Amino acid sequence: MSPRFEPAIGRYLHLDLLGRPHRLYVEEAGQGVPLLCLHTAGSDGRQYRGLLNDERITRNYRVIVFDMPWHGKSSPPVGWENEDYRLTSRDYVRMILEVSAALGLDKPVVMGCSIGGRIVLHLAHEHPETFRAIIGLESSPKVDPYYDVSWLHRPDVHGGEVSAGIVSGLVAPTAPDDGRWETLWHYMQSGPGVFKGDLYFYMIDGDISDRLDHIDARRCPLYLLTGEYDYSCTTEGTLEVARRTGAQAVIMKDLGHFPMSENPEKFIAYLLPVLEEIRLGKKASAA
Amino acid sequence: MLERLAGRVNADANLLRRGKHVTTTFLIAVDNADHIVRIEHGRIVSITPGPFITPNYSFALRAARDSWEKLWSPVPIPGYTDIFALVKKKLLRIEGDLHPFMSNLLYFKGVLAAAGHTQEAA
């Protein structure tokens, strides 16, 4: 194989985030409409490398992926050793808005998966005017706890291996082995307690059931894409969001909870028509 | 349902490698039929069918036959492809000392998946 570089560029962004100095790792590729991508709980932006490398996307979209604080190559804030990480709805919304502002993005499209698919519903509710369109992957209004999350962070269990073990069944059984195991590798590399801290948002604080009826997809186009094998964010949950908000929902065959990393090729086939519709909509309104 | 489990696990070099630190005894219940599975260094050394008077095991996985059959279906059924999917639906109960199970979760998921490989002749 000839050596080659991928087109994505990775840089470290210094900014004040949630009132504290932060150093975040940001990758991007492409040009055009900004597409800000949000990774899942306990993982990082590498999940989106299929998109960053797909010329069909990057010729019209500037794909931007950041690792949340504590995740991937982003640092936890100074003093992290004296606190427990715990993600809240309020902080998550602020984080996305502040990162978007720091990058100078003008009405980006925001796309998130799992916890990202939940927080984009909060964005649709609280900040629809900020975004050109919103895409939720594996979006559901809430997920009740179905296992004891304390197993994810204790000294006598390997946090990375148990986290990967927990999520392994969320990958579609039809996923290719390389996509499946790369997805799990990201979980194995998560910092101690980070997945658990994200799940506080996912299973407790981020429940948006009582506000779904106040989301109006006419104020900001809302698209929902969910894999048929996702038993955590269920297809039923996604369809409920669509019914109550006016969002367009597509149930994706042969995909699970991590569509962009478990099977990028299959996922991108579902994503391209959505991105095209958003882009043409923008053209139509600008004409 | 578990007749060929030991043979399949013990023939899977990757599974044995993943479970090399696992030595424990656990229980699988299919409906009310208990089976005690003894594992030493990742290898299944015995599967003993009940009934038992004083079963001694670390953890138990209990589900109805219908739920196990869905989990082990050769054609995957959305919503039934993982033990935690069944737990979420309250169709499978994991009880006892979960430490051996949770600290070797990928291994035990591999063991349980081995019970469902029914298309090997295909």
CB contact (8 A) between residue A229 and residue B76: yes
pLDDT higher than 60, residue A79: yes
pLDDT higher than 90, residue A135: yes
CB contact (8 A) between residue B79 and residue A168: no
pLDDT in tens, A213-250: 999 999 999 999 999 999 999 999 999 999 999 999 99
Mean predicted confidence (pLDDT) in B76-94? 97
- Kindly report the backbone phi and psi dihedral angles of residue B47, in degrees, each rounded to the nearest multiple of 5, phi listed first: -130, 115
Mean pLDDT of chain A: 96
Contacts of A177 in chain B (CB under 8 A): none
Contact B81, A141 (CB under 8 A): no
Contact A181, A261 (CB under 8 A): no
Give dist(CA A192, CA B108) in Å, integer.
22
pLDDT in tens, B24-58: 999 999 999 999 999 999 999 999 999 999 999 99
| Interface residues of chain A, partner chain B, Cβ below 8 Å | 146-147, 151, 156-158, 161-162, 164-166, 168-170, 172-174, 184, 228-229, 231-232, 234-235
Query: What is the third-level CATH fold of A9-286?
Result: Rossmann fold (3.40.50)
**Is the bond into B51 cis (omega within 30 degrees of 0)?**
yes
Give dist(CA A175, CA A231) in Å, integer.
15
pLDDT higher than 60, residue B118: no
Strands of A92-140, DSSP E: 109-113, 133-137
Contact A13, A230 (CB under 8 A): no
Instruction: Give me the pLDDT at residue A98, please.
Output: 98
Instruction: Give me the pLDDT at residue B3, please.
Output: 83
Put simply, whether B76 touches A (Cβ < 8 Å) is: yes
Q: Given A146, A161, A231, which is nearest B106 (Cβ)?
A: A161
Model ipTM value = 0.94
Give dist(CA A62, CA A85) in Å, integer.
31
Instruction: Give me the pLDDT at residue B33, please.
Output: 97
What percentage of chain B has pLDDT greater than the value 70? 95
Q: Which of B105, B18, B80 is nearest to A165 (CA)?
A: B105
What percentage of chain A has pLDDT greater than the value 90? 97
Contacts of A173 in chain B (CB under 8 A): 76, 81
State the smallest CA–CA distance between residue A162 and chain B in angstroms.
Answer: 6
pLDDT in tens, A167-197: 999 999 999 999 999 999 999 999 999 999 9
Tell me which residue has tokens 């699970």: A256
CB pairs under 8 A between A and B: 58
pLDDT higher than 90, residue A282: no
User: What does the domain layout of chain A look like in residue ranges?
Assistant: 9-286
Put simply, whether B51 touches A (Cβ < 8 Å) is: no
Instruction: Give me the pLDDT at residue A120, please.
Output: 98
State whether CATH 1.20.120.530 applies to domain B5-63+93-114: no
Give which of B82, B94, B119 to mutate to test A binding, by max A Cβ within 10 Å.
B82
